[in-house]
Structures are given as structure tokens and as C-alpha cells.
Structure 1
Amino acid sequence: MRLTAIAVAAAGVVAAACTARHDEIAATDLTRYVDPKIGSGAHGHVFVGASVPFGMVQLGPTSIPQAWDWTSGYHDSDSTIIGFSHTHLSGTGIGDLFDITVMPVVGEVTYARGHQDDAESGLWSYGDRSREVVRPGYYSIPLERYGITAELTATERVGIHRYTFPAGDSSAVVIDLQNGGCWDSPTSVEMIPVSDRRIAGHRHSTGWAKDQKVYFVAEFSEPFEEFTLHGRDNRYGRVGFAPSDTARSVMMKVALSATSVEAAEANLAAELGGWDFDATAAAASKKWNDRLADIKIGGEASDADLRKFYTALYHSMILPAAFNDAGASPAYTILSLWDTYRAQLPLLTIIEPERSGEIANTMLDIFDSQGRLPVWHLWGNETDCMIGNPGIIAVADAVVKRLPGVDTDRALKAMTVTASDTARGGALREAYGYIPCDLMKEAIAWDMEYAVADGAIAAAAASLGDSVTARKYEQRSRSWRSYFDPSTGFVRGRMADRSWRTPFDPNYTAHRNNDYCEGNAWQYTWLAPQDVDGLVEMFGGREATVAALDSLFAASPVLTGEDVSPDISGMIGQYVHGNEPGHHAIYLYTMLGEQAKASARVRQVLDTLYSDTPDGIAGNEDAGQMSAWFVLSSLGFYQAEPAGARFWFGSPLFEEAVVAVPGGSFTVKAPGVSAERHRIASARLNGEVLSRPYVTYDEIMAGGVLEFELI
């Protein structure tokens, strides 16, 4: 389609926030703008604890509840603590992990998770939230039941604990291999004291990851007097220390590996040989500050916006998690690809291009082992969670952008073989040209995600000069058109005989049990970023398409159905920001030549659907995706197309943002931006007026200056 230049529109009127000068922010400790508890309330599900960027260890508190809002082990509404676990998820809608949980105790206890209505039912204690300290790389909280202060920090593969016990003769640490995350349960555990300071073992479990293996070695800063096994199947190990007449601190280091105890020991030796807790915490903070400095904000900005931005950037770099041992070839896990292919992985291709190549190569290694690219990979297990072929889209993006170390021929083979898989609706799509809704649940969503992946293959093949493959997959990427009903203006269920499913209600949703996935016809009608020409054709022209897109935001937010998906949240009309399928939808305005409308809606989302409070994320944070949308959109652009390598303009939030790129920087300037003045009138790249409403990936990575003129 023809892409028009940026349109000029009148500025909206929104109350301006208090601003302050932040010209010297680059020289400050950026971690002070990070509040890890943003997103820990409502349905955000973020990890709260100590970690380093992309670390294997995410060491933090785990609570008693195992309900949906505790999939990360922590919720702002609940201060119970059963221990401090070394693995956690962040932002996900399903729970697992919480491996190798440690609880410091005083006196005799019941070796069980416990119940909140019975203080003696388990190990658990309330944490004193009024004295809780949470910052990047460090976590601390007093345990009210025991009078113990717990402090945590971490390296990539090692967690270090410092427990300050009261005076007495019954101080101990309990290693809990029974309790995992939500649906997880142990299949094999072992704890063996190898000296009076060291315990080694493993925890194998089944849950979301059907065959998860974690090996560990735990070392203490002073000898322990006893080690005894307790509880169900001896899955609790009590490590008792000598009496003390005064309060004293005991430290504990726990190193992890997915391969062996010997590898865990090697990880401990490589990363944390000494016992300087404060230096380790300072090193973790520095690692975070170095990564946060990948994007430096200048000019005037409110403290609230800076907290939102740098916390979002922080959340964008917790996952994927390292999965290799120290010194081994890089590998990653917790690949929430249906979420992250849209914004988090594209963001990382800018600020972490080398790591992004490593992540892509991890996916290719998974292809070699399981015969198809990953869907949702978790600690060595394919969970097949969610729909479509998101691994294809992520790898295609790596190919188009020529990420370092990625073998493009190997990648193209992996993509085409995966796209040819007949499982998960593939055979139906091949036979009918679409997936009939009477033969498979969520048929529209499955097919439309497959079509997005096909579009990504077409883009990758075209970038490699393979026109035959590009044409084949471009044609396949149009399969979604079979669902478009011009009489209603929506995609809707189509039966095997090509008749429409009746009755039809675009507001209807049934969680994981209708023709869509975590959505309805309003949202899924726009899930064709690879085929915007097709959208225009289906709606009967650009103006009709824009009018239909307007109606998405103007419609009543009422949802019908007896089992409305809880993932449908953060609504503006029927636009849903709290879930991923619509994250590109606002930027369709820019692609359709209505950039002013995109600016208005982007700014509305930035200002109203994100905040610097525990409830500040509208929906599951989803392993960095919700946060990465905020980061990219704050810069003024977003990659709306799968593997398109074009970042379409929206509305910048800051007067200046300096993005570190290899060999230099890419600076985005928006002089005078404010709540009233945020719509883009024109843009210059390195002084030259742009006649297109986007910049390319290569232009960003080459460095330079993008300057917006705002109205």
C-alpha cells in the first residue's frame, strides 16, 4: 500500500503533570527510578526480589496463596512468606518454578506450607511490608514471626542470603524442596551434606514444565551443627546453627544449574567465591544501572514518568533467563514468545543486539532438539502454551535484522519446517486453506497467528533474496481473510462447509472456549499487521478502514458471555491493552496515514493505562511485553509488523532519549513535548525531512538524531 507522510492535527488537551529538569540523568544512579513493585498488584504478576539482568536466579519471597494472581510468588495484597525461592516467573498467566526455597526460622516449626488462618500450620511468617526494601538487585524484609531480617542479592546463577537472627539457641535455615509454584510438584529430591558448611542436591518436578530439573549447592558462612530431614517424604532439610548470646548474621549462597550438581559447584566458584554480601549487592545494582543506561532520558520529565519508564525498562530485562552454566555457550529459557515477539524482543534487538542473537540461536538449538521452533519454552520443556508459531516470528526478525551470530540459512530452514507442521491445527489449515471453527476451538486466533508467522517468513525470505519462498508465504499469510465477513465488518467463525457460525455477537467472549483466544471479534479483526493492504481491501478502502478502526476505540466496553476472559483488561472501547493481540492496533492508524490519531491514542495509553503504583500495569505484564510496549512507545515509535524492521511513529513521551547502539547513539528529540503538545507534525532524520512515518532498524542502529516537530 502507499504510505502517506505524517498528517498534521490539532493537539489534545490533557492536564499537564509537574515536571523537573533531568538533564544530568545520565550521570545518576538510574536504579533510583525503578520501583520493582509496579505491577505487583491487580493482575500484573511481576517478580519482586533480587536478580541481575537476564539471570538464571530470581531470588525472592514466595507467599502461601497459589491462585492466579500469585504466579510470580508475590502479590501486593498479601504479606505471607513461606520462604525465599531461587527461580520465579514474571508477569505470566500460569505459575511454576519457585525452586529451592529457603526459610530462616527460630525454634520448632511445622514442616509444611501452612494456612494463613493458622500461624502454627507451617513454616510461614508475615513479612513486615512497612520495612520492606526492594530495589534492582536487592531485597530485604523482616519476618515478624521469627524476629529475623532477611536480605537477598544475586549474581547470574547464585543467590546470596544474609539472615540476621535474634540471640538464642535455635536458629536454623530450612531448605524446602516440597513447595513449588502453583501447579508444580516434586518428582525427585535430594539433599546431601558434603561438609559442615555445604549441602548439595537436586529438585526434579512436574507442572507447567513437565520434566524440570534443578541442581543446587548451598554453602554457609559458618559451620552448621546439625542437618536433619523432615516433612513429607523428607523434602525439608533443617540446617541448625550453634547458640549465640547476641544477634548475629548468617550468610548462605545457593548456586543453580540445569545440568548437574558439579555444574552448580562450578557456577558457585566462577561467580561468587567470597562472602562480601554488600559488594555483591553493589555489583548487582551496577549491572542494572549499566543496562538501564542503554536509554538515557534528558530534558524535562516528571518523576512519575521516569519511574514508569525505567521500571518498564527494568521489567523488559528480567527475562529471558540464562539457562547455560558459567563459561558455556549462551542459552536462554522462559521464552514467552506469543507475548514477547511483539515488543520485548524487538526492543532487545536495539539495546541488546548481541544477546538477541544468542536468544535466536537458543531457539534454533531448540528446533534441532525437538524438530520445531519453540512456542513457550520453560526450563528445557516445551509447554506449547498459547497459539500460533511465535518462534517463527522471533527468528524471522533476527534474520531480517541480521542479528550477530545467526545463521540465516539454518534459520530459514527452521522456520519453513516449523510452518509445515501438521499438528496444532496445521493439517486443517492445509486442507481447508483456513481452520474451520467447527473442527477446532479458537480457530480464528490460531489461523490468524499462523498468518502473522507466514508473513514473517515471507519478510525473512525476501530479505535473503529467496523470492519463491517469499511469494509462497506471503500468499499463506492471507488465510485470515477467509474469516472476514463484509456484512458485519468483523472476522467471525467459519465452518468446514464455509458457512458462518451463528449467532454472531462481536462482544462475546468465553475464556479459551470460543473462536478467539483471550479476546473477541473486536480485537481479532485487526490481527493482520502483515497484511494491511488486505485490511483495506476487506473494509472497502482506506477511509472505511479508518472508520472501522475508530469504532474499535469508540465502542462500548461491555463484554458478553458467561465466562469472560480475565485477560481482557485495560480497555478503551473494545481496544484491549492488557493483552497482547491488540498491541499493534493503535499503530495501524499510522500505517493508514492517520498518524495524528495514533499520537492521541498512544498518549492516552501511556498516561492512563500505566502508572507508578502496584496496580500500574493493565493486565499480566507477560515476561516484559507490557513494559516493552511502554518503552518503545515512549520513544515515539513501535515495530507493528512481524519482522518488518520498521518502527512506526506514535507519540514521544520525553524531550530527549539517547539510545546506546553499537559504536554510538541514536537520539530521539521532541522539544517542548507535553500533555497538550504531543502530536507529531513532521520528523527529521539527521537533518533530512522524512516523507514516511517510520524509521528503519538499520537507521536506528547506524546512530544519529531523529527529531520530531510537535503540535
Structure 2
Amino acid sequence: MRKSILLLSSVLLTIITLSCEKEVVKEIQQKPIDYVDPFIGTGGIVHTFPGATIPFSMIQLSPDTDTKGWDHCSGYHYNDSTIKGFSHTHLSGTGWSDLGDILIMPTVGDIQLESGPQDQPDLGWRSRFSHDEEIAEPGFYEVNLKDYGITAALTAGQRVGFHKYTFPATDSANIIIDPTNLIFGEVLETQISTDDPTEIVGYCKSNGWGGKRYVYFIIKFTKPYDKFQISRNGKISSHLKVKDKDVKGFATFKVGENDPIEVKVAISAVSLDGARKNLLSEGHNSFALAVQHAQEQWSEVLNKFSIDGGTEEQKRIFYTGIYHNFIAPNLSMDVDGKYVAMGKKLEADGFTNYSNFSTWDTFRATKPLISFLTPNYSADFVESLISRHRDAKEHLPLWELAGFDNTCMIGYPSVPVIYEAMQKDVKGIDVNEALAAMDDIAHFNKISSSDGDGGLNEYIKLGYVPAHIPKNVSKTLEYAYEDWVIAQVAQKAGNKKLYEKYMQRAQNFTNLYHPEKKTFWPRKSNGQWFGDIEMDQWEPLQKHWISGNKWAYDYFVPQAISQFIEMKGGKDAFAADLDTLFSQELDMKGEEHVDISGFIGSYAHGDEPGHANAYLYNFAGQPWKTQAMIRRIMDEMYSDKPDGMINNEDCGQMSAWYVFSAMGFYPVCPGDKQYIIGSPLFDRVSMQVSNGKTFTVEAKNQSDKNVYIQAASLNGKDLDRSYITQEEIMAGGILKFVMGPEPNKNWGTDVNDIPKSPIQ
């Protein structure tokens, strides 16, 4: 009997030990979603938000700590200590903003009619909060509102925001509805009404970066309110349907301890009927099911990658980077297919409409990454853009927000977004419709809201944008690249005449190359070169280059780098020029543009036009310098802290640069099928591409010291060239590197192993 007891004890001990070991293994083996930290980018001037959303959703349900000033482009800043409420639409990482639509705030006690100032929360309904009592995960956000003892939890569907508020036991649990809340925008009119104690409806008409627009809303509570009041311009009204510039609603409930109220909010840009249909399309889920569904959708995206090696911080940066790339653009269509674009009410036929296109930032790496992973989204993005010309009878947008082209930035950056998807054989794109939209925008001069006259008419006439037009050098270079893109689409369409025309225009960058200065330089409309410019002052540079960032645009000829190298005096001279870029510190006077930051020498990683520059050494036959610089940028410009990027995240582009670079390659010329090799960050990273195949990069001996490629192979065969192709990535397989602490100056240096640009 004693032996039996001892044996049983031994068995139980073994079971318990194994169980504990399994728990330890479970803790160690984190899933990709566990590495995402939505707080990365909520500090500094990165301008991301921590709240709940799903991939490309209409809803970005997030706390607003304030809605005015540069720090609050996303409505939230990590340095703040009070929350004014939770609104349903936000931009991720932009340098200007709008949205922040339909704010909801739970409180306890007497009704306050205004949110109050950030630094004096007791003057309004604001609440203090602590990051120690705040959780942010993909698809889920939770915070304790300290002033009220309320736990607020949020999640999101495609068109519905889900709230769960757990109050202390009270007869005065309030849920405030504030349609006047906007980030930077101007309220024109609001309305709230109710005739059902579980439902509130209304709208806000506003004007801002997204133009004049309506947001209709319907709000459903899981329990009826006991009392509802509406304020008009700061005073309580006796009516339950009120329309004015400043209208807010206040629902009051009796609740017991741990008796949560769930709230569902559906929105529409089209109509109240559209909002109701949107609610019904996903409004039956409980909060718990909505969280589960949201996180399943994020896992579907994030699980396309797996990583071995690297630090925990690097993994967090990488997976959060994937997350940031799947926030924008945003669904901009009701469930019945109706949407608003270019001031018109339209109905989608055969595609899902999206808006919030930061194309000038994201054509560089974000859209190529998305096309690799989820071509179904890319198809809808492209159709949405083309529909502005085909259906709305307007022009391709520069920067479209809420269906409105706010014409921010320069060029016609929708063009490479469309072509890049075509190059990856994304289905459903009509090449002739795409060409028609591109040819149209390449002849329509837009006045940029940020950078003045587009100068397109002069560009067509002279072959360059003349010096008297703002940002003339930057505009000329971007037009020339985008003209190359249009030429490729014309070739696909079999239109030889347009192909030749745009290939000629693609050479226009040569018209601003000053042979004596050996750099791009402003030129007057009479053909004469502009005079000297004080190169140690920001203000004169900003007249000719975006943000004054001349050093980024000195190399922006992605379609013709090989030709440009010869113009600069050959490979050695070009590499020496790059050496100067990355080593010569700037000593500037005057106010520095906020977008220029993250300096290594004269290179500023915080401004997108230069994002390919570190990869250009490969074209000059010195790839080891690319390898060292890429690793330096990843180490110095990114972290897993709230201020974890050097500037605005810009709807995914800053993150996309890191994601591609960590994998070991980058799209220097979006639309070209070459991907230029850098220095892989992980021992092993796998990416499942859209056809279901897996492309894996292995880096033997890689470390923070071993950043140089000693040898490489692709699917078992030696690889001596410093680039791979789109076809090789899409075919799946294994790209292997052997890394070391010293450069191998024989790898990737032969003339046959150097990447060549589309224009030689």
C-alpha cells in the first residue's frame, strides 16, 4: 500500500512538472499578435493611436486626449494624463489631420456639459488615467478612468465600434455623446434625437482636411437609459430632437456593481439609413465575440510572418510595423455599396471602396508590401482610385481623405500605387481604364494645399518646373518618375504613342541636372540656371525642395539610377557622393521643417523621399556600404518605445521601410521588379506571399556586429548579385546569407551582379 501511494505521488509529481513545463513553453512561444504594441508611435511626433481597429476598417475607435495642436494629429499623445472620450475615426501617423468623429465618454455623477481643458480636467467631464491601467492590443483597448472608477474597453468591426463600460454601482452612470468632437476640423452642424431608450441617432456636418462631409451615426445600448438630455450650445434643451452647431447628448442609467453597459456605434458618410444597415450587418455580436473576431483578423495578417533570432525589441518593432501597414487606407462604403467621393454620392459596382490614401508617402514601400501579402485589398484600393476618374468624373487624388482630395503634397502619386499592383498581377484591374486615369492626371495641374502651384503646365511645355514655382526641383523629379510609370502602363495597353511620349517625359530629370554643380538645381523659365542658394539656411531651400530636403532629392531618380550614376561621373564618383551624404553633418540656420529629422550626416530618415538612398551603393558596386548603413538606420531610428520612430509614421511608410529592411531587401523603384538586397536583421524570417507560397530569408551568424554579407544562395544555388526579383520572391524558396564582421568586397560587385535601373 505504501509503495502504491509513493508510486501515485511520483506519477502526480511528474504530471504536475510536465504541466508546469508546458506552461513555461507556452509563455516563451509567443504568437505574432503578442509582439504588436500599439503604443509604439503614440509619443514624440510619430502620431499613431493606441485604440482598436481591424485591417483597413472604417472604424478606428481610440481615446482622444486632445484634438488640437501638432502633438494630437491622432487625437492621442502618450505624454498626456487625461482622456476626453473615445471617438470612432482616426488617422495613423500623419503630419496633419481631421476625423475624431462621434465621441463617447462614460462618467459618474452630475452631468458636465463640456469636456474641459486638458490641464484642468475637473472643469469638465475629462478623466485622469494612468498607463499602468491601460492595455492596447490589436483590435482591443482598455483603460481605467480614474476619476469615475470606470473600466472602458473598446473593440472594432468593419463599420461598427463596440464599447464596454463597467461602472461602479450608481444611479448616475452617464454616457455622453459628443458629435462636435473633431481633430483640427470645424463643426458646421450637428443633430441628435431619440425615441427609443436603447437608441440614439444623429449626424455631424463638418469642414476640414477631409472637406465638407457628413458623419451619420446610430448608437445602441444593451440596456435602456433612465433619462436622456440634449444640450444646445451649452444649455440643456427641453426637446429630444435638436439640431444646431453644438449639440450633445447625455444618457443616464442605474447600474449595479460589475453590471456593464455595452454600446454599439455604426457610422456612415452617406445617410442615417446607411448607418442603420451597417449596424445590422454586424451589430448582433457581443463585445466578447467582437474582440475575438477582431483579433482573429489581425492574426490572419500577422501570421503570414514568422521570425527566429533577433531581440525581443526587434520583433516588437517588426510585428508592430506590419500592424501599422494594415491600418490605412480605410473602408469608405456602406454595406449596401453606397459611398461618397469627390463630393458625389456613388455606388460601387464590383469593388469595395476605400479612402484615406496617403499615396505620396506609401507608394514607396507600404503598397508594395500589401500587394505581396493581400492582393484582394490592393485590387480594391486600385479600383477605388481609378473610380475617381471613371465614376466620379474627376481626377486621381494626391491625398484623399474621406473621399475628398485635399491636394496635399506633390506629383501624381496615385499612379505608382496603381502600377505596382498591376506589376504583381493583382486581378481585376482594367489596364485601359488605369491608363486613361493616369493620362488625365498627367495633364491636369493641381494646386497643392501644402506646396502651391503644381507647375505641371510649365513642366509639359519646358520639360521641368521652373524656379519661380514652389518646390520646383522636387516636383520635376517626382513627375519624371511617375511619367516612367505611365509609360509602362501604356506599353501594357499596347499604346505605342503614349509609351514613347511618357518615356520622353521620364527623362525630364536631366533638364535640372547642373553639370558644373553635379546636382539637381532650379532653373528659370527662360532656361537659365537659378543663381546661388545659401546652403546653410533652411528657408531658401524650402522654396525649391519639399521640406527643404535637398539631400533626399539629390538621388530621387528611381527609374534611371544607372543613367544618373554615369551623369555623376561613374560608379566610384557616385559612391563617393553617397559617402559624403552619410558623413557630412549639416550646420543649418533658421527654422528646420518638422518633417526633416533623423539625421545621419546630411541624410534625414524622417522624410520619405530619401528612403531608398542607403540602398543605392548596390548600383555603384559597393553593396557592403548599403549593408552597414541599413543596419545603422534600423538600430538608430527605431525602437519599441512610444516615440519609437524618428518622425510621422505616415500611414505605414516608416514601418514598411523597417519591415522590408529587416527581411533583407527593399523596393528602390516601386513598379520595377527588382528588390535591392541590404542586411537581414533576423536569423530567419519567413513571409507567406499571396499565392500561398513561403519566401524565407536565413542569415547565418548574423548579429549586431556581423552585418556584412559574406556569401549568399537562393534555393541552393550561389547568388552573387545584390538584388532579387519579384518573381523569385513570389515563387517561394529560401534565400540564405552567411554574415560576418568585415565586408566581403567581392560579393555583389561584378558588373553582371549590380542592379540596373529600368532606364539605363
**TM-score using structure 1 length:** 0.92
Q: CA deviation at 1:556?
A: 0.8
Q: CA deviation at 1:602?
A: 0.6
Single out whichever of 215-224 and 502-511 deviates more from structure 2. Answer: 502-511
SS in structure 1 at match of 2:260 = strand
Question: 2:359, 2:417 within 8 Å by CA — same for their partners in 1?
Answer: yes
Alignment partner of 1:396 is 2:424: no
Q: Equivalent of 1:488, from 496, 513, 517?
A: 517
Question: 1:490, 1:522 within 8 Å by CA — same for their partners in 2?
Answer: no
| Cα distance in structure 1, aligned partners of 2:138 and 2:313 | 18
| Cα distance in structure 2, aligned partners of 1:524 and 1:85 | 38
Q: Equivalent of 2:457, from 427, 443, 446?
A: 427
| Cα distance in structure 1, aligned partners of 2:541 and 2:141 | 37
Question: 2:42, 2:48 within 8 Å by CA — same for their partners in 1?
Answer: yes
Q: CA deviation at 1:341?
A: 0.2
Instruction: Give the gaps of 5 or more residues in structure 1.
Output: 1-21
| Cα distance in structure 2, aligned partners of 1:60 and 1:95 | 15
Match of 1:319 in 2: 328
Q: CA deviation at 1:512?
A: 9.3
Match of 1:186 in 2: 187
Question: 2:324, 2:652 within 8 Å by CA — same for their partners in 1?
Answer: yes
| Cα distance in structure 1, aligned partners of 2:186 and 2:60 | 19
Q: Equivalent of 1:255, from 266, 269, 273?
A: 266
Q: Equivalent of 2:683, from 655, 658, 664?
A: 655
| Structure 1 residue identity aligned to 2:593 | S
| Structure 1 residue identity aligned to 2:332 | F
| Deviation sequence 1:4-35 (CA, Å, 0-9, x none) | xxxxxxxxxxxxxxxxxx99999743221111
Alignment partner of 1:347 is 2:369: yes
SS in structure 1 at match of 2:170 = coil
Q: CA deviation at 1:385?
A: 0.6
| Deviation sequence 1:120-157 (CA, Å, 0-9, x none) | 43322222222111111111111122222211111111
Match of 1:459 in 2: 488
Residue 507 and residue 360 in structure 1: after superposition, are their counterparts in 2 closer, same or farther (change >3 A)?
farther
SS in structure 2 at match of 1:212 = strand
Match of 1:15 in 2: none
Residue 78 and residue 545 in structure 1: after superposition, are their counterparts in 2 closer, same or farther (change >3 A)?
same
Residue 433 and residue 105 in structure 1: after superposition, are their counterparts in 2 closer, same or farther (change >3 A)?
same
What is the correspondence of 1:22-61 to structure 2 with a 5 Å cutoff? 28-61=30-63
SS in structure 1 at match of 2:296 = helix
| Structure 1 residue identity aligned to 2:699 | A
Q: CA deviation at 1:321?
A: 1.0
| Cα distance in structure 2, aligned partners of 1:62 and 1:628 | 26
Alignment partner of 1:361 is 2:379: no
Question: 1:459, 1:644 within 8 Å by CA — same for their partners in 2?
Answer: no
What is the correspondence of 1:412-451 to structure 2 with a 5 Å cutoff? 412-423=435-446, 424-438=454-468, 440-451=469-480
Alignment partner of 1:304 is 2:277: no
Q: Which runs of 4+ in 1 moved over 6 A?
A: 22-27
What is the correspondence of 1:70-219 to structure 2 with a 5 Å cutoff? 70-182=72-184, 184-219=185-220
Question: 1:56, 1:322 within 8 Å by CA — same for their partners in 2?
Answer: yes
What is the correspondence of 1:265-284 to structure 2 with a 5 Å cutoff? 265-274=276-285, 276-284=286-294
| Structure 1 residue identity aligned to 2:318 | F
| Cα distance in structure 1, aligned partners of 2:599 and 2:496 | 41
| Cα distance in structure 2, aligned partners of 1:389 and 1:330 | 23
Question: 1:492, 1:504 within 8 Å by CA — same for their partners in 2?
Answer: no
Question: 2:174, 2:253 within 8 Å by CA — same for their partners in 1?
Answer: no
| Cα distance in structure 2, aligned partners of 1:641 and 1:463 | 18
Q: CA deviation at 1:327?
A: 6.0
| Cα distance in structure 2, aligned partners of 1:552 and 1:88 | 36
| Structure 2 residue identity aligned to 1:396 | Y
Larger Rg: 2
Between the two proteins, what is the percent identity of the paired residues? 36
| Cα distance in structure 1, aligned partners of 2:222 and 2:646 | 43
Question: 1:371, 1:418 within 8 Å by CA — same for their partners in 2?
Answer: no
| Cα distance in structure 1, aligned partners of 2:49 and 2:427 | 30
Question: 1:270, 1:326 within 8 Å by CA — same for their partners in 2?
Answer: yes
| Deviation sequence 1:173-205 (CA, Å, 0-9, x none) | 1110112012x0222322221411011222221
Residue 427 and residue 225 in structure 1: after superposition, are their counterparts in 2 closer, same or farther (change >3 A)?
same
| Cα distance in structure 2, aligned partners of 1:24 and 1:533 | 51
| Deviation sequence 1:194-244 (CA, Å, 0-9, x none) | 411011222221010112222211000100122221142473433333334
Q: CA deviation at 1:691?
A: 4.5
Q: CA deviation at 1:111?
A: 2.3
Residue 126 and residue 475 in structure 1: after superposition, are their counterparts in 2 closer, same or farther (change >3 A)?
same
| Structure 2 residue identity aligned to 1:212 | R
Match of 1:7 in 2: none
Match of 1:573 in 2: 601
Question: 2:187, 2:245 within 8 Å by CA — same for their partners in 1?
Answer: no
Alignment partner of 1:623 is 2:633: no
Q: Equivalent of 1:473, from 496, 502, 514?
A: 502
Q: CA deviation at 1:460?
A: 3.1
Q: CA deviation at 1:110?
A: 3.6
Question: 2:202, 2:216 within 8 Å by CA — same for their partners in 1?
Answer: yes
Residue 31 and residue 521 in structure 1: after superposition, are their counterparts in 2 closer, same or farther (change >3 A)?
same
| Deviation sequence 1:366-406 (CA, Å, 0-9, x none) | 22225321211111111101111100111121222221111
| Deviation sequence 1:489-529 (CA, Å, 0-9, x none) | 32222222233333323443239951111133222111111
Q: CA deviation at 1:247?
A: 5.0
Match of 1:697 in 2: 726
| Cα distance in structure 1, aligned partners of 2:253 and 2:648 | 45
Question: 1:110, 1:120 within 8 Å by CA — same for their partners in 2?
Answer: no
SS in structure 2 at match of 1:313 = helix
| Deviation sequence 1:550-581 (CA, Å, 0-9, x none) | 11001113333x23201101111111111101
Q: CA deviation at 1:410?
A: 1.2
Match of 2:563 in 1: 534
Q: CA deviation at 1:169?
A: 2.0
| Structure 2 residue identity aligned to 1:366 | R
SS in structure 1 at match of 2:53 = coil
Single out whichever of 594-603 and 532-541 deviates more from structure 2. Answer: 532-541
Question: 2:115, 2:125 within 8 Å by CA — same for their partners in 1?
Answer: yes
Q: CA deviation at 1:245?
A: 5.4
Alignment partner of 1:293 is 2:303: yes
Match of 1:220 in 2: 221
Single out whichever of 346-355 and 422-431 deviates more from structure 2. Answer: 422-431
| Cα distance in structure 1, aligned partners of 2:400 and 2:356 | 6
Q: CA deviation at 1:704?
A: 2.0
Alignment partner of 1:335 is 2:345: no
Alignment partner of 1:375 is 2:398: yes
The aligned length equals 685
| Cα distance in structure 1, aligned partners of 2:401 and 2:132 | 34
Residue 428 and residue 203 in structure 1: after superposition, are their counterparts in 2 closer, same or farther (change >3 A)?
same
| Cα distance in structure 2, aligned partners of 1:464 and 1:111 | 60
Match of 1:643 in 2: 671
**TM-score using structure 2 length:** 0.87
Single out whichever of 405-414 and 460-469 deviates more from structure 2. Answer: 460-469
Alignment partner of 1:671 is 2:700: yes
SS in structure 2 at match of 1:335 = coil
Single out whichever of 72-81 and 685-694 deviates more from structure 2. Answer: 685-694
Q: CA deviation at 1:65?
A: 5.0
| Cα distance in structure 2, aligned partners of 1:245 and 1:27 | 40
Question: 2:418, 2:434 within 8 Å by CA — same for their partners in 1?
Answer: yes
